[in-house]
Amino acid sequence: MRSWRAVAATMLSAVLLLVAAAGLAQTPGGTAAAPQVSPQAAEQIARGFELLGRNDASAAEAAFRQAIEVQPEAELAHRGLGLALRGQGKLAAALRELETATRLDPNDADAYYALGELAWTLSARSLPGQTSNSSFSPADYRDLATGAFQKALALRPKDATLRLNLTELYLQAGRGQAALSEAQEAVRLAPENSAAHLALGRAYFAVGEEEQAASQYESALKLDPKEGAAYLGLGQLRLRQRRYTEAEAAFRHAIEVSPQMATAYVALAQVLVQDGHGAEARSLFEKAVALDPQDWESQYQLARLLMQAGEVDRATRIFGQVARAHPEFLPAREQLALGLLRRGDVKSASAQAEAMLAQDPRAPEGHRLMALVLRKQPDLETSLSECAQVLASDPNDPAMLALQALELWQLGQKRPAQQAYRQAAKVEPQVGSSDVFCRLIVCDARDIGPVTEFLHKNRWVLEPAFNP
């Protein structure tokens, strides 16, 4: 997307025409504006855009407001004021001014473009105090952006950039076919544009056309060998195809040519986690979080790796930050509650489990935590019921399989216990180790004896799968 400063520079040359024409208004798109602009208003508008070009958004705001005071219906003044407000981070007020500009001149493609850019920005942020309407969701802002770009495109049907913006918005909304249509037209309009081929590759990927996606990513790289996003797309494609070595290589290429691309570090880290290379994955998540401090999902993944590495305090601190910022994200709250359980605070952990289940009765995080809490009370039968709730949605949950195996054994149900234990070993091959088993079920001192006995008496169940 274009920066507001670049837009301001474009606007300034157009506004100078207003002054020279002594009242004849013309928009940058070349269409005649409905109301004429008075010389006094035009002078202030020109000054406002000049100030924007100098990075002085505050002074530009004052100039545009003076123009509006002289002539309230001057569309370009409202558009300029919107850009000035956006430059100061006053996004809600900026949105109102840009909406006013599009109402004053429905034929101004640039006004729709600026409105679309800002609404798109708000769809990604949607922070309290920054929205023009607190009831607006990210999807609402995305719809507003889409509508604005569509109106701009109706006025400028050969604008490939508008089509690329719409492609991205449609992809974000899960509208793969609509994205594909726009991206195909963008490539037709700009066949030498690597970004157009990249967008078309992503659209093909979204609709499952894998070979066409690969072809477009490769076309993008031929046009621009440093297009890191194309390597990222190829990596994601190979990952879907379970071609893990090729996926890893593509992600490493993405980092090499685009070292500031946080998503490439995240993608490579996720592959390495699956391969058991936790230390390197951790360093990659560290880099991703440093590049994008707002990426709370990577913060969560980093905290999990820190916990596994024994850095409990730092991991707990990060889990807390994520949980406070995103209380709807139950995995972070579950990890915090597991920390309470490890410290022996069963009462607080139980309260957390109840709160999570009240928020979402079907969430596996709440049932998994409750199963572990109930074992501590101890209430093995009810704990097994909670295990079953989790395993109904995720039959391969290693913690619940291990807990189920131990509790069934303690209740005298030997064969079902061994079946659960065998299944747990398929998911977590090291479950025969007391350290791993205890980590999965959050052992306390009372669990050491039963776990040791269970593993010893059922050692044969895993042979030859487990051989320490």
Report CA-CA distances (Å) from 368 to 94, 338, 345, 375, 434.
46, 10, 17, 11, 20
pLDDT per residue as tens digits for the range 217-250: 999 999 999 999 999 999 999 999 999 999 999 9
CB-based contact 157:188 (threshold 8 Å)? no
Q: Percentage of the chain with pLDDT > 70?
A: 89
> Is the CATH number of domain 1-156 1.25.40.10?
yes
Q: Which CATH class is domain 158-259?
A: mainly alpha
1-156 and 158-259 agree in CATH topology: yes
Question: Residue 19: what pLDDT?
Answer: 44
Question: Residue 462: what pLDDT?
Answer: 84
Residue 16, pLDDT > 90, answer no
Give the pLDDT band of residue 51 (cuts 50, 70, 90): very high
Give the separation between CA 356 and CA 374, rounded to whole angstroms. 15
Report CA-CA distances (Å) from 335 to 93, 303, 321, 342, 387.
39, 9, 12, 11, 17
Give the pLDDT band of residue 1 (cuts 50, 70, 90): low
Residue 20, pLDDT > 50, answer no
Token digits for 272?
Answer: 């390495």
DSSP 433: S
Residues whose CB falls within 8 Å of the CB of residue 86, separated by 6 or more in sequence, listed in order:
4, 94, 118
Domain boundaries, the chain: 1-156, 158-259, 395-468
Token digits for 450?
Answer: 């039963």
Residue 21, pLDDT > 70, answer no
Is pTM, for the whole model, over 0.85?
no
pLDDT per residue as tens digits for the range 78-134: 999 999 999 999 999 999 999 999 999 999 999 999 999 999 999 886 443 344 445
Token digits for 417?
Answer: 């216990």
Give the pLDDT band of residue 303 (cuts 50, 70, 90): very high
Residue 18, pLDDT > 90, answer no
